[in-house]
Copies of this chain bind each other. A is one copy, B any other.
Amino acid sequence: MRQQVAKLAGVSEATVSRVLNGVGPVKEETKQRVLAAAAELGYVPSALAQRFARKKSGNLGVVLPYVPKVPLFSTYYFSEMLGGIGEEAQAQGYDLLMLFRKPEQPRDYTALFQAHKVDALIILGARDTALDRGALEELERSGHPFCVLNQRYAARGNEPPFMTVDADHWSGSRAAVRHLVDIGCSRIVFINGPAQYSNSLDRRAGYDRVLAESGLELREELVLAGNYSRTSGYALTDQLEALIRAGDADAIFAANDRMAIGAMQGLRERGLEAGRDYALCGYDDADAARMASPQLTSVTVPFHEMGQIAARRLLQQDGEPKISAASTILPVQLVIRESSRSRQ
């Protein structure tokens, strides 16, 4: 109890509060007395009472998507982003509250603010679906500070877009495909993920662009659909093998490393090796890229930094959490490894 401290230090409770919060003018001697008394009594202010009095939860909420069967956390980039978010939140004196989204039961984000559970929100794994977009639009209208990570939404009508932190996947994709072209490939298969992710659209746009720039024909039968899981890449083995053996494909660009590895495994079972029989490039540069054999050419995305920036923009120390729809796009970088050795 703060009262005890006040009595022991021979001051009022108000003064104890001032000392402990470093606010207002306090005589140095008084301050020392209070500090000593607090230390002696082992006084720890109740965060519950503080937050109640300040009407601020002190929490930064992080919404995680529900992905059945796939342990979402293991998806590398979630982990990385969380690390960045956590680092920044801690630096700003906020606690990190994890919020698991229920399957197809989109959380009522606004209620989280109304209940004062969070002061700001970062949303991971959002997709461009009616459900997700609707939830975000409502949140936007409510005027609460939030940020969408690794996903962008086109401005619709005169509605301003949401605050977003994303990476430049269009450029990343172009760098990857250009690299494949540079080493002599001309029939490049593209394995993409679901279109609800802006990530997928960006990568596709980059792929199309480089093909056009290089005077290569865009053949729709070279564009395959996966869902970002390893098995979805593996499931394409038949098609990929046929394309390669028929001479219709000499390279594969997968929208993430897991699909790339799945494809690589499937093709290996058929006697086709990445870096020898075809060039292979993944995306994300997850640790799996280095674990693969041959190690995977990939595109490094600054997930950690993205998380950090999102948190920083939300938690700006200059007073209240910021609300601003500006969208930040971070650069990515191609990393060339064994899976795309230049063709002799």
From 268 to 309 in chain A, residues with beta carbon under 8 angstroms from any chain B beta carbon are: 268, 286-288, 290-293, 295, 304
A97 within 8 A of B: yes
Inter-chain contacts of A74 with B (CB < 8 A): 74, 76, 79-80, 286-287
- Please report whether the interface of chain A is mostly helix, strand, loop or mixed according to DSSP: helix
Q: Flag if A291 contacts B71 (CB, 8 Å).
A: no
| A341 within 8 A of partner (CB) | no
Nearest CB in chain B: distance from A238 CB, A:
19
A-B contacts, 6 of them at CB < 8 A, read: A44-B115, A45-B115, A46-B115, A73-B78, A261-B291, A292-B293
Q: How far is the CA of A290 from the CA of B288 in the complex (A)?
A: 10
Q: Check B83 against A117 for contact (C-beta < 8 Å).
A: no
Number of copies: 2
Quick one: which of A65-101 are within 8 Å of B by CB?
Answer: 71-74, 76, 78-80, 82-83, 86-87, 90, 95-100
Question: Is A154 in contact with chain B by the CB < 8 A criterion?
Answer: no
Q: What's the nearest-Cβ distance from chain B to residue A259, in Å?
A: 11
Return A183 CB to nearest CB of chain B, in Å.
22
Most buried by B among A57, A74, A115, A261: A74
- Distance (Å) between the CB of A256 and the closest chain B CB? 12
Residue of B nearest to A303 (CB): B71
**8 additional A-B residue pairs with CB within 8 Å, beyond A51-B52, A59-B97, A74-B80:** A48-B51, A48-B115, A71-B83, A73-B79, A95-B97, A95-B117, A268-B293, A292-B292
Known pairs A86-B98, A98-B98, A265-B293; A117 contacts B230 (CB<8 A): no
Establish whether residues A97 and B97, one from each chain, have CB atoms under 8 Å apart when the complex forms: yes
B230/A287 in contact, CB under 8 A: yes
How close is A229's CB to chain B, nearest CB, in angstroms? Answer: 10
Q: Contacts A48-B51, A52-B52 known; A83 to B73 CB distance under 8 Å?
A: yes
Using an 8 Å CB-CB cutoff, how does the interface string of A6-47 with B read, 1 for contact, 0 for none? 000000000000000000000000000000000000101111
Which residues of A in the span 113-156 have a Cβ within 8 Å of any Cβ on B? Answer: 114-117
For the complex formed, measure the closest distance between the CB of A185 and the CB atoms of chain B, giving whole angstroms.
Answer: 22
Chain B residue numbers with a CB within 8 Å of A290 are 230
**Chain B residues with Cβ under 8 A from A45's Cβ?**
115
